Amino acid sequence: MSADGFHVHGPHDHELEHAQQGHGDTGHGGSHTNSIAMFTAVIATVGAIFSYMGGATQASAGLYKNNAAIKKTEASNQWNYYQAKSSKQNLSELAIELAPGAKKAFYEGEIQRYKTEKAEIKVVAEKLEAESKEWDHQSDEQMHQHHRWAQATTALQVAIAMAAIALMTRRKWLEWGMYGLGAVGLGIGTMAALHL
C-alpha cells in the first residue's frame, strides 16, 4: 500500500481472492474441482468393485476348468475299463471257438456278463463326459464375464487418469472424455453383471 492510500495487488493476491470467492483461476470454480474429485472417488470405488469381480470370475473359471479336467479323467478311466471288458469279451468269444463243448456254455455266460457290464460302464462314462462338458461350459462363461469386468475396470482406470489430466489442464474436452469413458466403463460393468 502506498502513502496516499493506493493499494496495488500482485497477480498472486488476485488469484487468492478469486479462489476464496470460489471462482478459481480460469473461471472454473471450486465446484468444478469438487465435481471432478467426486467423479474420481466414485469411479475409483466402482472400479475397485469391478476389479474384485473380475478376479473372482477368473478364479471361478480356473476352478471350473479344473473340475472339467477331473471329470474328463474319470470318464477316460471308465472308457479304459470299458475297453478292458471288451477285450475279455473278445477272449471269451475266441474261447467258445476253441473250447470243448462242455465249456461253451460257460463262455457264453461270460460274454453276456461282459456285455451287461460294458453297458453299465458306458452309461457312467457318458455321464462323466457330459459333466466335463458342463464344467467346461461354465468355465467359458466365467472367462467371458471376467473379460467384461476387466474391460470395465480398464475403462474406469483410463477415465480416472483423464480426470487427473482434466484437473491439471482445465481442458473441457478431457472432462467430457472422462465422463464419457466413465459411462462406457459403467455400461460394460452392467453387461458383466447381467452376464451379457
User: What is the residue whose three cell numbers read 470467492?
Assistant: 21
- Residue partners of 138: CB distance under 8 A and separation at least 6: 64
Q: What φ, ψ does residue 167 adopt, rounded to 5°?
A: -65, -40
How large is the average pLDDT for residues 129-146? 94
Cell of 47: 472400479
Helix (H, G, I), strand (E, B) or coil at 155: helix
pLDDT band at 6 (very low <50, low <70, confident <90, very high): low
Q: Is the pLDDT of residue 166 over 90?
A: no
Q: Which range (105-109, 115-119, 144-148) has the least confidence?
A: 105-109
Residue 182's pLDDT band, with cuts at 50, 70 and 90, is very high
Max CA distance (Å), the chain: 140
CA atoms within a 13 Å half-sphere pointing along the CA-CB vector of 119: 5
Mean pLDDT within 39-48? 91
Cell of 135: 464344467
DSSP state of 135: H
| C-alpha–C-alpha distance, residues 148 and 50, integer Å | 9
CA distance 187 to 181: 10
Phi and psi of 100, rounded to 5°? -65, 160
Stated pTM of the model: 0.68
Residue 169, CA atoms < 13 Å, CB-side half-sphere = 11
pLDDT for 31: 78
pLDDT at 21 over 80: no
pLDDT for residue 98: 86
Per-residue pLDDT band at 134 (split at 50, 70, 90): very high
Give the pLDDT confidence score for residue 29 in this predicted structure: 54
Domain spans, the chain: 36-193
